[in-house]
Amino acid sequence: MFGKKAQPPIKSLIARGTRIEGNVKFSEGLRVDGEAFGDITATTEETSLLVISEAAIVEGGVTADHVIINGTVRGPVHARELLELQPKARIEGDVSYVALEMHQGAVISGQLRPLMVNAAEGDEKPLLKLAAKNA
């Protein structure tokens, strides 16, 4: 289910020094290096990837299939598949995910809410992967 499948290409960038005010909708891939004040939401037509870099600040909710965070998010985070929290990730809000990879140093101020993959089966548990400390 969470094997190595091809990541969608990052076709959009909110560059460092750029400030976006308002909601953003994107398809495929988006990288945020600047500031975004509003919700960032991936469309559901295609597999989506959202990368929030170390310098980025997002004040609003984020939603995508695969979410990678190494910056600051002040709002709810919803990963429809995989959420990766890098060492400098800071989240102030509730987090929902199917699979979670969290590196040492990442901080969440909110509730973790695992999503069931197949709610009809009821037996499927969310995947939780602990990242190994790099030597």
Per-residue pLDDT tens listing for the chain (135 residues): 455 567 888 999 999 999 999 999 999 999 999 999 999 999 988 899 999 999 999 999 999 999 999 999 999 999 999 999 999 999 999 999 999 999 999 999 999 999 886 554 445 555 666 666 664
Provide DSSP, 99-117.
EEEE-TT-EEES-EEEPPS
What is the separation of C-alpha 89 from the centre of its chain, rounded to a whole number of angstroms?
10
Residue 118 one-letter amino acid: N
Pairing relation of β-strands 35-37 and 49-52?
Answer: unpaired
Residue 85 one-letter amino acid: L
- What's the whole-model pTM score? 0.84
Task: Round to whole Å and give the CA distance between 81 and 108.
Answer: 18
